[in-house]
Structure 1
């Protein structure tokens, strides 16, 4: 007797070379977006990335390191993006508005996209019962909608955490795309319950400073070199098919001066290709792809 293996049931297998070829705006083939994660953490409890092994709570070392990102690092990244004329998608914990007044407003003034990213990165939504997860999504969405004057189109779960029903809940809450899955280099339609669907947009776990710096212990220079190598290779590969390249950044990591300097050099290189690649936001990519993939 055989039994079928568990399946997520969200999308079918599709080989990249077998898919239709299309273009991004202006005939470009590589879309590049920067995802800046603006996160807040509970003091003395909950989850949080660690610079060094945490001691007993309150873990002042790691809490303060993360808090530095919102107080200092984020502003240095804003200045860098302004200098290079680069747009960004700002992934926002809704409690940032309370904890860091003026921070998201400064990026809104740049015209950056504001993306839902839960309430706080001290919690994971994938651990919650469905009703609690629905309430989390509703609370975070209500705050962003009130503050920004419109509902966010996209969502990234804190800690890339999803339950088995997260895509369903996001679609039912009016979200048009999600960022948690790194299974492809092109957008993918996910099936949701009740005959619905939501677009999954590629979000990087390799070109992401938490896995690179915190988990693998890469230097800032090594992380920047990986971004550059990925960019140059994807630019070449995009001759055959349209691709999406995301770069995931956290102010408390890459905002540090010794990591910001090599990041500056690689973003200067990418910005110099603006006539060749589409430098844009996650939301703009999702909207364009949804029209093409109807």
Structure 2
């Protein structure tokens, strides 16, 4: 089976992308703000088949109780607005986080209802209902209807992009196969770059140290800037508050953002703004 969602397009054969102000690298932080269920298996630091699973649930819940607030302080210090990948259940369970994001003018993307349930196995009608409820909950809580989608665990069905388009969405982050946005075959829908590589969850759980993380962020930017001599690139930094919000890691996020925000060729932006600019400045 081959995908019909997008065509193959070598990055060497495309029209040039030009970011606002002549900037060369569009940088955004994808901040995963998630809710987890006590009685469902989820991201784990130590695999266990327990209900309740105090060890793993507590590790994840640290993000909502402590890690998010430390992460917010770091983002604020460097003037970085989050592109918030939001589980809709957070609106009910952690409304203080929503209020903090609204005060900071975060971009809000739909990220399923909870990261304890992957976005799979739905009929078209079931999925339409689920997506409608998620989008409506986020809009009611934040005052903005989400424009972007990233599935829990980057999951979709074959109908997800089409249904999202029907509901007024304009882009997805699930297909992490490019350094530039591109159009999907679903009319009106884009893919915007996200990352499973420069992603705190995968990196730190494999044993990466803070100084190594800092060097990776610097290297990622430096190479993308060099690549962008003739056409703009996107740099996404994926963060999870229960990971990066740990004290011994947060200091290296602070240093990483200090480096990124000091670069003269970086456009500090959100995934919403990247999608909007690409759509309005490139041929359909």
In which range does the TM-score fall when normalised by the shorter chain? Answer: over 0.9
How many residue pairs match? The answer is 283
Residue equivalent to 2:199: 208
Partner Cα separation in structure 2 for residue 202 and residue 22 of structure 1? 14
Equivalent positions of 1:1-294 (< 5 A) are 6-45=1-40, 47-192=41-186, 196-214=187-205, 216-273=206-263, 275-293=264-282, 294=284
Q: Note the C-alpha offset of 1:115.
A: 1.1
Question: Secondary structure at the residue paired with 2:120?
Answer: helix
Paired residue secondary structure (2:185):
strand
In structure 2, the gaps of 5 or more residues are: none
- d(CA) in 2 for partners of 1:219 and 1:138? 40
State the superposition RMSD in angstroms.
1.3
What is the CA deviation profile of residues 147-172 of structure 1, one whole-angstrom value per residue up to 9, with x for unaligned ones? Answer: 22231111110110111111111111
Rounded to whole Å, the distance in 2 between the matches of 1:221 and 1:203 is 22
Structure 1 residue 23: Cα displacement: 0.9
TM, length-normalised to structure 2: 0.96
Query: Contact 2:29–2:83 at 8 Å: present in 1 too?
Result: yes
What are the Cα deviations for residues 118-142 of structure 1, in whole angstroms up to 9, with x where unaligned?
1110101123333222222111100
CA shift at 1:55, angstroms? 4.1
Asked whether the 8 Å contact 1:221–1:259 carries over to 2, the reply is no
3-state secondary structure, aligned to 1:197? coil
CA contact (8 A) 1:108 1:114 kept: no
Kept in 2, the 8 Å contact 1:224–1:262? The answer is yes
Q: Is the 8 A contact 2:182 2:190 kept in 1?
A: yes
Show structure 1 runs of 5+ residues with no match: 1-5
